[in-house]
Amino acid sequence: MRSLFLTYNGVSSHIGQAQVLPYLTGLAARGHEITIISFERGTDTYAVPGVKKLFAESRIDWRPQEYSTLPGALGNAIDQRHMVATAKRVAAEVKPDVVHCRSYVPGDAALAVKRATGARFIFDMRGFWVDQRAEGLRWPQKRLAYRCLYRKWKKKEEAFIDDADAVISLTKAAKQEIEHWPTYRGVPIHVIPCAVDFDCFALPNDASERTAVRNQLGVKDSEPLFVYLGSLGSVYLLDDILRCFVTARRVLGRGRLLFMGDHSVEQLLMHASSIGLSIKDEDVLCRRVVRADVPAYLGAADVGLNFIIPSYSSLGVSPTKLGEYLACGLPVICNQGVGDVEEVVSAVSGGMAIGPDVEQDLLRRSGELRQLLSLPRLAIRSASRRIFDLDLAIDAYDHAYRSVV
């Protein structure tokens, strides 16, 4: 089966390496002939040689494009026109059976390919991208131009779902929501959450590996270590992350908080102070960690934190970090109202999903909080594998492809 995969996210970026490459190489190993059109940023050029090598080994045809140098909406519009033209030209060459569109931006190009070649169209919507832009204030609705942009993309969203031969959703919650839309016409919706490579994200080999990382961090064995992995942006609830830590430390009598990513202790402490929280310098740690070392740091922690705005668009969110925490056997504390998070945490018996009043809910459930530190990590990992394992996701994509041709 020949497929044309379209993405506006660079496959050499962090998200591309975590949530694009593993799926596509897995599909190639199952016999799919794949051509990829992606848009790559210059800042990710360090990863290109490794991506080229991986694609060569997997016999994947990669056609990388460069982002427009023009800023904002004008540059995006130019890129979209370029993607449509490139996709039609490449499709005429490779004659795909399936055109797979990752998220919304390549949607026009995917539809153009479908109409020109008769290829089956898979709309891999991921989440409610248009509403995420509005709710995250990337498209502030107080401004007329962004209200018009929002309405334009909502109409595109309807067209993508209406013309698709299959839709991919990250969550059951989003699938159920779409099925109630008046414009929904009954196209099959496949739920495939953000997957994890369990061979990479694993338990520590032995106690000495965990101890070595904690020693490097300066964390005692007796100190519960809470961890937050990834970026902090408009949809992430830093206030609640910090309140959760302060309250947990109050309940447990001790604890440290590790932020993994491009973070600053000084800025985090200033933010804590601005919302009335008192946190000492030595209680917060920040580390920039290459992806290959992330599992070791998660293995050294005791509880993973994940707090996202529980808005309408969050129905479609499958946090990558949640699966990575659980794959490492790490219990989690997260907030309610985000995708299928509550259902997942309950299914794996691996943590707590708490309400909007973080402090009061944690204090009320202090017994559960204490129990998190002794939950069996192997059991958490085993249960979560039935939900997030990469091979399951690849099988699901393979089924979606074969079901439309």
Please tell me the predicted confidence (pLDDT) of residue 363. 97
Please tell me the predicted confidence (pLDDT) of residue 43. 63
Please tell me the predicted confidence (pLDDT) of residue 364. 97
The CATH homologous superfamily for domain 207-388 is Glycogen Phosphorylase B; (3.40.50.2000)
**Residues 335-378: tens digit of each pLDDT:** 999 999 999 999 999 999 999 999 999 999 999 999 999 999 99
Please tell me the predicted confidence (pLDDT) of residue 75. 86
Please tell me the predicted confidence (pLDDT) of residue 77. 87
What span, in angstroms and rounded, lies between the C-alpha atoms of 184 and 172? 16
Q: At what angle do helices 107-117 and 144-163 cross, to 10 degrees?
A: 30
Q: Which CATH number is associated with domain 2-193+390-404?
A: 3.40.50.2000
What span, in angstroms and rounded, lies between the C-alpha atoms of 47 and 17? 9
pTM of the model: 0.93
What are the mean pLDDT values of the chain's consecutive 10-residue runs (405 residues total)? 95 87 96 96 75 94 90 85 97 98 97 97 96 91 95 96 97 97 94 96 92 96 96 90 97 97 95 96 94 94 96 96 97 97 97 96 97 96 98 98 95
**Closest CA relative to residue 303, chosen from 284, 290, 322:** 322
Phi, psi angle pair for 122, to nearest 5°: -105, 115
Locate the domains of the chain by residue range.
2-193+390-404, 207-388
Phi, psi angle pair for 101, to nearest 5°: -105, 115
